[in-house]
């Protein structure tokens, strides 16, 4: 009985060898043209691999029948854009503020740590690192700017154009009015827009005129009834002048200094 079993095993092994020898090995003698038509292919396992043209891929699959690489793109693998990150997780609206810091040093407060993580997922080039489990300290806006007149024109969210004495004044405005975010349009005064000015009413009793104006240089050009032009440092200064000189009226006022004559 043992001899019979042994004999059967020997015969089965011999038949397996003979069957394997009978299966012909594929002839992979294809000569591919020297044409660059890159394709990116991926096997069942492993990373994508680039081939100069579809023929090269066919030759590779012939030499590696277990690879069975298939085309995933008609280009070099390295030219395929990275897939967009899937930020499909949900965050609660819990008010547990955290402070994040970007690479450029700016800080920002997020409602909670999940919102910060969601931001980082959706903005891979604008990453914030968690630095505190509380809101970021409030940034104090600058209170002084150099008294240099290098006007810039900015556009507000309301589409209004506004001239600032210099870029520092624009930055202060944006800091104090974060919802406005005036956007720089040009490094010059905004185009002047004429606005009519009503002549002051005649007064029978003395009026105490203001004596202080902000140290902001936002010149205006005023034209009186005689056709004379006069430049004021800002509208406040013009208002004080009119208050102190009720007999003088201006027919028009434009933003910016009067043109030199």
Is 242 or 19 the better-scoring residue by pLDDT? 242
The percentage of the chain sitting over the pLDDT mark of 70, rounded to a whole number, equals 77
pLDDT tens for residues 166-218?
Answer: 888 888 888 878 777 789 999 998 887 655 455 555 544 455 676 666 666 77
Q: Which of 139, 137, 133 is nearest to 116 (CA)?
A: 133
pLDDT tens for residues 128-168?
Answer: 999 999 988 877 776 667 767 888 999 988 888 888 888 88
Please state, rounded to an integer, the average pLDDT across all residues of the chain: 78
Q: For residue 222, give every residue at least 6 positions away whose Cβ sits within 8 Å of its Cβ, in sequence order, or none.
A: 197, 229, 230, 231, 232, 238, 250, 252, 253
Which residue carries 């870029």 as its tokens? Answer: 167
Average pLDDT, integer, range 82-89: 74
DSSP notation for 186-208: ESSPPPP--EE-PPPPP-SS---
Report the pLDDT value the prediction gives residue 186, as an integer from 0 to 100.
93
Q: How far is CA 50 from the centre of its chain?
A: 33
Categorize the per-residue pLDDT at 230 as very low, low, confident or very high, splitting at 50, 70 and 90: confident
Report the pLDDT value the prediction gives residue 26, as an integer from 0 to 100.
57
Q: How far is CA 248 from CA 14, 154, 235, in A?
A: 122, 33, 16
DSSP notation for 20-89: HHHSPPP---PPPPS----EEEE-SSS--EEESSHHHHHHHHHH-TTT--EEEESS-GGGSPPPPP----
Q: How far is CA 161 from the centre of its chain?
A: 23
The percentage of the chain sitting over the pLDDT mark of 90, rounded to a whole number, equals 18
Average pLDDT, integer, range 220-229: 81
What ranges in the chain are assigned the alpha helix state H? 2-22, 54-63, 113-122, 167-176, 235-244
pLDDT tens for residues 2-51?
Answer: 545 555 554 555 555 444 444 455 578 778 988 999 999 988 777 889 99
Report the pLDDT value the prediction gives residue 22, as an integer from 0 to 100.
47
Q: How far is CA 140 from the centre of its chain?
A: 24
Q: How far is CA 176 from CA 54, 116, 188, in A?
A: 62, 25, 22
Rg over CA atoms, the chain: 39
Question: Per-residue pLDDT for 224 more than 90?
Answer: no
Report the pLDDT value the prediction gives residue 19, as an integer from 0 to 100.
45
229-232 and 220-224 as β-strands: parallel, antiparallel, unpaired? antiparallel
Q: Read off the tokens for 90.
A: 């949900």
Q: CB-based burial of residue 238 (10 Å sphere; 0-12 exposed, 13-18 middle, 19+ buried)?
A: buried
* Lowest pLDDT segment from 71-85, 163-177, 213-227, 230-244: 213-227
Report the pLDDT value the prediction gives residue 15, as an integer from 0 to 100.
56
């Amino acid at each position: 009985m043992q001899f019979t079993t042994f004999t059967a095993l020997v015969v089965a092994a011999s038949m397996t060898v003979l069957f394997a020898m009978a299966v012909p090995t594929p002839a992979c003698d294809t000569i591919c043209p020297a044409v660059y038509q890159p394709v990116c292919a991926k096997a069942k396992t492993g990373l994508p691999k680039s081939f100069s043209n579809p023929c090269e891929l066919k030759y590779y699959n012939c030499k590696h029948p277990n690879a069975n690489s298939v085309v995933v793109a008609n280009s070099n693998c390295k030219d395929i854009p990275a897939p967009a990150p899937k930020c499909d997780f949900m965050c609660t609206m819990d008010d547990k503020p955290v402070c994040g810091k970007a690479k450029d040093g700016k800080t920002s407060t997020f409602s909670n740590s999940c919102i910060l993580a969601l931001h980082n997922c959706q903005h891979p080039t604008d990453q914030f690192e968690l630095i505190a489990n509380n809101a970021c300290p409030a940034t104090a806006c600058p209170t002084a700017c150099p008294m240099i007149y290098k006007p810039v024109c900015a556009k507000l969210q309301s589409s209004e154009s506004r001239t600032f004495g210099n870029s520092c004044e624009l930055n202060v405005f944006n800091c104090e009015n974060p919802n406005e975010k005036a956007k720089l349009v040009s490094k010059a005064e905004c185009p002047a827009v004429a606005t009519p000015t009503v002549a002051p009413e005649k007064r029978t009793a003395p009026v105490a005129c203001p004596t202080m104006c902000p140290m902001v240089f936002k010149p205006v050009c005023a034209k009186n009834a005689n056709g004379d032009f006069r430049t004021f440092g800002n509208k406040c200064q013009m208002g004080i002048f009119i208050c102190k000189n009720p007999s003088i009226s201006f027919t028009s006022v434009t933003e910016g200094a009067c043109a030199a004559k």
